[in-house]
Amino acid sequence: MVELDHVNKWFGDLHVLQDINLSIKQGEVVVVIGPSGSGKSTLCRAINRLETINDGHISLDGQPLPEEGKQLAQLRAEVGMVFQSFNLFAHKTILENVTLGPIRVRKQKKEDAERRAKELLDRVGVGQQANKYPAQLSGGQQQRVAIARALAMDPKVMLFDEPTSALDPEMIKEVLDVMVDLAERGMTMVVVTHEMGFARTAANRVVFMAEGQIVEENTPEEFFTNPQSDRAKDFLGKIL
Ligand code: ADP
Ligand code: MG
């Protein structure tokens, strides 16, 4: 579903992605972990082309990522992204937040988009909040709306970049539960997170990044109990 082939990216002199090769199958859940500054966010942003790359190839469902224009908007619809900060439109209701993309980009009729949005909001447990504004919701509720908003576009893959890092501890589980449910429904997912519980429950594979490189890739079980590299051992020693 997602292929990265010898991907390199520089920010000036900083070689932020160094010969990244990664192949993610349909329905696979890949957790990306690693120290701050290792390139995890840049990797996610490259997959939906919020960042360009300098060298190599990225493809989605067999197609190279489009350069610009209409196809790029289409790509952004096919690659759902959920960030650390919830990024909801503050001046739109929860329902409008979820229907905007399907109406504008997917050209759905308003009634159809609203019906689907209500289903998705129910599914993530915030159906009762549909007519409120983002500021009236808790952080955990807003992040669940952000997930519903991405799902409303019928994405082929969902990228999560530290989706629970900005949440109060008591709200982390409600967001992770939605993500586990999504994984169980067969969504292809790339998840940057340090939530080891999520990785152990939902991930097929853990990718460990350090200094722009993929240092280690393994099943969660193997990675957490038997890390191979010194860098992974050192990192796990600090977070576990
Ligand atoms: P992570 O998500 O693993 O913390 P990032 O992908 O955000 O890492 O960043 C990797 C490195 O690239 C960091 O050193 C960061 O400072 C740098 N970086 C990220 N975005 C930019 C940018 N737009 N311009 C210059 N440097 C950047
Ligand atoms: Mg990051």
Q: What is the pTM of this model?
A: 0.95
Query: From atom 6 of ligand 1, which residue's Cα is the shortest distance away?
Result: 39
Which residue do the tokens 């932020």 mark?
Answer: 16
Interface pTM (ipTM) of the complex?
0.98
Instruction: Report pLDDT digits (tens) over 52-61.
Output: 999 999 999 9
Listed as own residue / partner, the contacts of 57-60 with beta carbons closer than 8 Å and 24 or more positions apart are 57/3, 57/4, 57/5, 57/6, 57/7, 58/2, 58/3, 58/4, 58/5, 58/7, 59/2, 59/3, 59/5, 60/1, 60/2, 60/156, 60/157
| Ligand 1 atom nearest residue 161's Cα | 2
User: How high is the pLDDT of residue 230?
Assistant: 95
Query: From atom 5 of ligand 1, which residue's Cα is the shortest distance away?
Result: 39
User: What single-letter DSSP state applies at residue 226?
Assistant: S
CA of 128 to the centre of ligand 2 (A): 32
Instruction: Report pLDDT digits (tens) over 28-69.
Output: 999 999 999 999 999 999 998 899 999 999 999 998 888 777
Q: Is the CB of 39 under 6 A from ligand 1?
A: yes
Instruction: Report pLDDT digits (tens) over 76-110.
Output: 889 999 999 888 999 999 999 999 999 998 899 99
Average pLDDT (182-199) is 95
Q: Find out whether 124 and 154 touch, Cβ atoms under 8 Å.
A: no
User: How high is the pLDDT of residue 162?
Assistant: 96
CA of 15 to the centre of ligand 1 (A): 10
User: How high is the pLDDT of residue 73?
Assistant: 79
Residue 157 in tokens: 């893959």
Instruction: Report pLDDT digits (tens) over 105-160.
Output: 889 999 999 999 999 999 999 999 999 999 999 999 999 999 999 999 999 999 99
